[in-house]
A and B are shown apart, each in its own frame.
Chain A
Amino acid sequence: MAQPLERQQAKPHLAEEWVGKVYTLLCIAFLILTIFSLVYFVASKGLSTFFVNGVNVIDLLTGLKWAPEGEPRLFGALPFIFGSFSTSLLAAAIAAPLGFCASVFMVEIAPKFGRQYLQPVIELLAGIPSVVYGFVGLSVIVPFFRDVFPGQGVGIAAGAVVLSIMILPTITTIATDALAALPKGLKEGSYALGATRWQTIYRIVLPTTLPALMTGIVLGIARAFGEALAVQMVIGNAPHIPRSLFESASTLTSAITLSMGNTAMGTVANNALWSLALILMLMTFVFVFIVRWLERRSKI
């Protein structure tokens, strides 16, 4: 009969489509579920410091003394927020020019040589695990800083140097992609007008790709902001705002790693650490939003 035959031919087609849609939809559902539960659980733990233990939000964000186990209990997280921002921003300040130079080298000055040698180097830097960076930082950078600069060797400077090497691949890769995506006509027009290569880079390439470069820098800052193990070994961990670049400081991540295992879940000391994690997570959202805003601007 004609009708069942056509239907029969349609059925496997149907089944395949159905399988495909359901399978991929489930995967996406899992993804969405994951992020929402991540946010939910971290937030519920972090917020319990305020709702269950009665700590004031403003006190947490602006207070200068952190003593959750002292008498009286103090929950000032400003030293950590300050530490996180200063190490990340300083790391980006170091890594951005380096990354820019590397990407210009790879795209403009020596493309073949660059792609063959510098690119693998950058990828390798990205692949080295963070525990190794922390260990090398503690063994090499801290003693070096201690001998050369006045201070303890540990601190924001040491943290920023270690972080800058870690985020260099991020910034370089994005910068390289941005530079390579430039329409050739732009550069050729500039050369045709008699500009030197540096003039072209400085006056044409850089301004045009600036939004994309900013994206890379912001992503680098976000990565540095969230790095825990490597930073904790070289930053000193005193819960104070340091008076110099070479004095012991703390970041949000180092504070969490340092004390999470020592506190019992459910206690106010533990909840306070979760609040720090919540701040960390919220900053991640802010970074993502900044990146999106930059991307939208670059599309104009």
Chain B
Amino acid sequence: MSAKTANKIATSVIVAVSGLIVLVLAGLLGYILVRGLGHISFDFLTSAPETIRRGGGIGPQLFNSVFLLFLTMIITIPLGLGAGIYMSEYAPANKVTNGIRLIVEVLSSVPSIIVGLFGLLVLVNLFGFGFSLFAGALALTVFNLPLMVRITEQGLRSVPREQKEASLALGLSKWKTITSVMLPIAMPVILTGTILAAGRVFGEAAALLFTAGMSSPRLDFSDWNPFSPFSPLNPFRPAETLAVHIWKINSEGLAPDAKEIAAGASAVLVITVLAFNFAARWLGRYLYRRFTAIK
């Protein structure tokens, strides 16, 4: 076989395989959306689930997913930013720092089921938070933190050295340099990464099975007092999220339309994650153009 033929064959194989991957994704998405889109309606998105009757919805679960994401992010972002800043700006290049980097890598590889078990043991049982949004948010933080640290480090590293040195030369303190000069420049990278991380958090189920729980109490959406057990804003109530709900319906669904509900919920979940992905890409591109004045 001449080298040219080998080249042609190899190229066609590679193109074919890439095409196959696209097909697989298209098939996957198609399967989910075709089965589920038909079932989605405003009613479906806002009403509470029914145990044994038809017509249940995913309203509380959808709200729980969003609210949990919000809670997780307000904990993770400051912590992740702080740790990332430390790692890229303050950490001396010694063994301790290497050790910390190892720790971050390990934490990012820990399977989510173990984070969930840890949450069950420590947050739900030991600290007594019970199955709650708070326990779920903390568990997801553990899961999400290494990612945030890596994103922050990446973002800060993308800032041109000259900008940082110029700022320091002008007499700004290191902290002010970081917050007023470097972070805004790194913002597109950090923001894009954060939105992608948010998408991952939104679809997470294994860590939440044992921490946020598998049911949602009756919620009174007009009650905005975060201390009331009926209020959707109370972080200490159990909160089944969309992903966990799909798991539960597939496992224990008693309602006659359980299959359709699971399909519809899966479709909603996938569409939301897609939306996160697109938003991240679009926002990243937009901010990059704004900040670097490339038009």
Interface, chain A (partner B; CB < 8 A): 13, 16-17, 19-21, 23-28, 30-32, 34-35, 37-38, 41-42, 45, 97-98, 101-102, 104-106, 109, 114, 117-118, 120-125, 127-132, 135-136, 138, 140, 165, 168, 195-199, 201-202, 219, 222-223, 225-229, 233, 253, 256-257, 260, 265, 274, 277, 280-281, 284-285, 287-288, 291-292
Chain B interface size range: 35 or more
Contact among A37, A104, A136 with B122 in the assembled complex (CB-CB below 8 Å): A37
Contacts of B110 in A (CB 8 A): 38, 226, 281, 284
**Set of chain B residues within 8 Å of A228, measured between Cβ atoms:** 111-113, 206
- Please give, as numbers and ranges, the residues of chain A lying within 8 Å of B145 by CB-CB distance: 31, 34
CB < 8 Å neighbour of A127 from B15, B85, B102, B276 = B276
**In whole angstroms, how far apart are the Cα atoms of A170 and B80 in the complex?**
22
| Distance (whole angstroms) from the CB of B288 to the closest CB of chain A | 15
17 contacts between A and B (CB under 8 A): A16-B176, A17-B174, A17-B175, A23-B82, A24-B83, A25-B90, A28-B86, A31-B103, A105-B18, A124-B29, A125-B24, A127-B200, A128-B270, A132-B32, A132-B270, A165-B28, A226-B114
Shortest CB–CB separation between residue B64 and chain A, in angstroms?
A: 15
- Ranked 5 nearest A-B pairs via Cβ: A226-B111, A20-B175, A129-B203, A27-B82, A24-B86
Q: Which residues of A contact B32 (CB under 8 A)?
A: 132, 136
CB contact list, B156-179 vs A, under 8 A: 173-176, 178-179
| B22 at the A interface (CB under 8 A) | yes
Do A131 and B205 contact each other (CB < 8 Å), given the known contacts A30-B79, A34-B142?
A: yes
Task: Report yes or no: A102 in contact with B21, Cβ–Cβ below 8 A.
Answer: yes
Q: Is the CB of B106 within 8 A of A284?
A: yes
Q: Are A201 and B114 in contact (CB under 8 A)?
A: no
Q: Are the C-beta atoms of A41 and B3 separated by less than 8 Å?
A: no
Within 8 Å by CB of A41, from B25, B28, B112, B121, lies B121
Chain B residues lying within 8 Å of A265, measured Cβ to Cβ, are 125
With an 8 A cutoff between CB atoms, is B118 at the interface? yes
Instruction: Decide if B191 is an interface residue (CB 8 Å cutoff).
Output: no
B103 to A127, Cβ gap below 8 A? no
Extra pairs beyond A24-B83, A24-B86, A228-B113 (13, CB < 8 Å): A20-B173, A24-B85, A38-B107, A41-B121, A109-B15, A121-B21, A127-B196, A132-B32, A132-B246, A226-B112, A260-B210, A280-B111, A284-B109
Asked if B4 is at the interface (CB within 8 A of a chain A CB), the reply is yes
Is there an interface contact between B15 and A38, defined as CB atoms closer than 8 Å?
A: no
Residue contact B90 to A102, C-beta cutoff 8 Å: no
- Per-residue CB contact flags for chain B residues 53-92 toward chain A (1 = under 8 Å, else 0) read 0000000000000000000000000111111011101100
Cβ of B216 within 8 Å of any chain A Cβ, yes or no, is no
* A30 CA to B107 CA, complexed, in Å: 12
Check: B204 CB closer than 8 A to any chain A CB: yes
Q: Are B103 and A35 in contact (CB under 8 A)?
A: yes
A225 and B111 in contact (CB under 8 A), knowing A98-B17, A129-B269? yes
Bound: A132/B270 CA distance, A = 8
Q: Which residues of A contact B83 (CB under 8 A)?
A: 24, 27-28, 30-31
B137 interfacial by beta-carbon distance below 8 Å: no
Q: Is B293 an interface residue (CB 8 A)?
A: no
Say yes or no: is B273 at the interface (Cβ < 8 Å to chain A): yes
Check A256 against B176 for contact (C-beta < 8 Å). no
With contacts A21-B90, A32-B100, A118-B18 taken as known, whether A197 is within 8 angstroms of B7 at the C-beta atoms is: yes
Q: Which residue of B lies closest to A172 (CB)?
A: B21
Q: Are B117 and A42 in contact (CB under 8 A)?
A: yes
| B227: interface (CB < 8 Å) | no
